[in-house]
Amino acid sequence: MNRWLLRTSAVCLGMALACAPCSFAAKQKKHKKNVDLSANPLANVQSQQPDKLLYDKAMLAMKKGKYDVARLDLQTLLNTYSDSEYAMRAKLAVGDTWFKEGGTAALAQAESEYKDFITFFPNTPEAAEAQMKVGDIYFEQMEKPDRDPQNAEAAEREYRTMLEQFPDSPLIPRAKQKLREVQEVLAQRQYEIGEYYATRQNWAGTIARLQTVADTYPLFSHSDQTLITIGDAYATEAQMMANARNLKPQVRTELAKYYDQRAISAWDRVVTRYPLAPHVEDAKDRLIAMGAPVPDPSPQALAESQAEEDSRVNVKLGARTLQLLGRGPNTVRAARVGDPSLESPPPVLAPEVIKQGSAVLTAAIENKPLPAGPVPGEPGTMSSQPGAATATIQNGGAPGTADQPAPSLSFEEVPGAEQPGNSATATVVPAGGDSGGSGAAAPTGSAAPSGAAAPAAGQPNGAEPIIAPVGPANAKPLPAIDRPAPAPQQINELKPGTNEGVQVQTGANASGKPNKKKKAPYDKKDESSSKHKKKTGADKLNPF
């Protein structure tokens, strides 16, 4: 029995010793971190120097949340031991105390401290850490996509500065991921605005906003939907041009073909750039319905799209609920692979889209070749692309532009006068004409039409009527009994040089002063007034 126990114990001990290195390695791997910005690299240094003691005391106070005490110890270290090897870390730790304290004022002070540190120690590894924390300050204050984007734009600017100025820092992977998340928020904001414009059928605003997203943020989680909506906007513009009855059939066909080609280019971009996106099948269906060939994506595009989609994390119900209650944005769907864009191309503006669309429309009307625009969604190719034509066309004429305004209409130029039932004629008589014939000639185009009736009797100054009476030219005047009564003389018009015709509204006394208007007596049966109420109680003794 004792022998069996000894053997069993030996086997168990051997198995424990064999598994000990594996469990130790797993434990070490579990607690391993990439980069810990809050770690103190000088904490394990065994020294009894006074500057070291002050530094350790400040770190302990900051760990316990006593930020005022920590700042006091750090300032004492900087002022007393300016040449200490802990001075640089103490300067950076002053900004850390403000950063961990939180609040708008404290974060602003932390940014100032980090900027000063970068100025004084620009070539040290800690300068990259300070720049990273400046970006984190704005990242922590970011709002949701439908709120003020000021903090998100500042975070994007600081992280880009971090990647450009410190490319060899070990914090580069973390800075790239933070930049991807910030750009996800900024892209989501522009995307929501563009989709809202699409619901309001504002195609110029839709194309401008969504094209800016496609050009600036290629890693956006809804890039496929962005390009699909751009194509839908162009397809709708093509239908509008095809149904424009005030255009010639040749012009309608040419414009519809142009905007259909723009829509096909946008949908092709979805298939070739995002072949594994969730909505790529919708783009293929639109291409098939349009009668266009479906392109084949390259192996490189397939690999990039697969890596992007695999790196995204699905939003769970619990995280979605917390997101509704929280203040910050949801960055779960941001990509975790790929290089974020370090430069933003000029944004596409709706007025430019309208102006370019008017130029395309004018070229089609004048039978000129339409410009071949670039592929929608290709970065940096939409600065000169003609957009949606939203200019109003009237009577077959081309609308005016900022460079060449439309000509002003005159009395002789009546748009559409050659069409039956769309013409009008009017006679304009210059003011001041007299019956005696002063010799003033009528302006060109203002002569009365042939066969017009003679001036009616009683017309002042013998002038011709502005519009000739309806009826035959040889009509006889009505007898006196059938004529309408003359209009009464107006007395509210002042004749030149006289006071005749002035209607006096108020009377005047002999001295020329206006009479005061007498007030009607008060009648309690018809009126109600607090001034004429009977006094009651102590108010009867009040003489006022």
Q: For residues 413-428, give the mean pLDDT.
A: 41
Does residue 136 register a pLDDT over 60? yes
Residue 402's pLDDT is 40
Residue 40's pLDDT is 56
**Cα torsion 136, 140, 146, 149: sign:** negative
Give the residue, 294 or 36, on which the prediction is more confident: 294
Determine the Cα–Cα distance for residues 75 and 59; give it in Å rounded to an integer. 13
Report residue 319's pLDDT band, with 50, 70 and 90 as the boundaries. low
Does residue 138 register a pLDDT over 70? yes
Please tell me the least confidently modeled range out of 135-149, 403-417, 459-473, 491-505.
403-417
Q: For residues 494-511, give the mean pLDDT.
A: 50
Residue 452's pLDDT is 41
Please tell me the least confidently modeled range out of 8-22, 201-215, 460-474.
460-474
Residue 495, Cβ density class (10 Å: 0-12 exposed, 13-18 middle, ≥19 buried):
exposed
Residue 543's pLDDT is 63
Give the residue, 120 or 378, on which the prediction is more confident: 120
The secondary structure element, H or E, covering residue 205 is helix 203-216
DSSP codes of every residue in 100-162: HH-SHHHHHHHHHHHHHHHHH-TTSHHHHHHHHHHHHHHHHT---TTS--HHHHHHHHHHHHH
Does residue 447 register a pLDDT over 70? no
Q: For residues 227-252, give the mean pLDDT.
A: 93
Determine the Cα–Cα distance for residues 114 and 133; give it in Å rounded to an integer. 8
Does residue 256 register a pLDDT over 90? yes
Q: For residues 273-300, give the mean pLDDT.
A: 94
Angle separating helix axes 172-199 and 125-140, nearest 10 degrees: 30
Question: Which two structure tokens, joined as six digits, stand for 22?
Answer: 């594996």
Determine the Cα–Cα distance for residues 135 and 151; give it in Å rounded to an integer. 10
Neighbours of 215 (CB within 10 A): 22
* Per-residue pLDDT tens over the stretch 300-317: 999 999 999 999 887 666
| Cβ burial 402-430 (10 Å sphere, 16+ → b, else e) | eeeeeeeeeeeeeeeeeeeeeeeeebeee
Residue showing tokens 């004084």: 120
Residue showing tokens 């709120």: 147
Does residue 498 register a pLDDT over 90? no
Question: Which two structure tokens, joined as six digits, stand for 295?
Answer: 């392109």
The percent of residues in the chain predicted with pLDDT above 90, rounded, is: 48
Please tell me the least confidently modeled range out of 44-58, 290-304, 492-506.
492-506
**Cα torsion 477, 482, 484, 489: sign:** positive
Does residue 295 register a pLDDT over 60? yes
* Per-residue pLDDT tens over the stretch 75-99: 999 999 988 889 999 999 999 999 9
3-state secondary structure of 394: strand
Determine the Cα–Cα distance for residues 318 and 305; give it in Å rounded to an integer. 28
Report residue 476's pLDDT band, with 50, 70 and 90 as the boundaries. low
Q: For residues 344-362, give the mean pLDDT.
A: 91
Give the residue, 130 or 43, on which the prediction is more confident: 130
Residue 316's pLDDT is 67
Give the residue, 525 or 289, on which the prediction is more confident: 289
DSSP codes of every residue in 279-343: THHHHHHHHHHHTPPPPPPPHHHHHHHHHHHHH--PPPHHHHHHHHHSSS---TTS-SSSPPPSS
3-state secondary structure of 531: helix
Nearest to 76, CA basis, from 49, 95, 54: 54
Please tell me the least confidently modeled range out of 87-91, 351-355, 365-369, 452-456.
452-456
Domains, the chain, with CATH or none: 36-121 (1.25.40)
The secondary structure element, H or E, covering residue 466 is none
* Per-residue pLDDT tens over the stretch 139-192: 999 999 999 999 999 999 999 999 999 999 999 999 999 999 999 999 999 999
Determine the Cα–Cα distance for residues 498 and 491; give it in Å rounded to an integer. 12
Looking from the CA of 391 toward its CB, the CA atoms found within 13 Å total 27
Report residue 443's pLDDT band, with 50, 70 and 90 as the boundaries. very low
Residue 110, Cβ density class (10 Å: 0-12 exposed, 13-18 middle, ≥19 buried):
buried
| CA quadruple 346, 350, 356, 360: dihedral, nearest 10 | 140
Residue 65's pLDDT is 93
Largest CA distance in the chain: 151
**Cα torsion 256, 348, 385, 215: sign:** negative
Average pLDDT, the chain: 76
Give the residue, 94 or 537, on which the prediction is more confident: 94
Residue 5's pLDDT is 58
Looking from the CA of 242 toward its CB, the CA atoms found within 13 Å total 11
Q: For residues 334-343, give the mean pLDDT.
A: 92
Neighbours of 385 (CB within 10 A): 21
Residue 333's pLDDT is 86
Determine the Cα–Cα distance for residues 224 and 220; give it in Å rounded to an integer. 9
**Cα torsion 387, 393, 396, 398: sign:** negative
Residue 214's pLDDT is 95
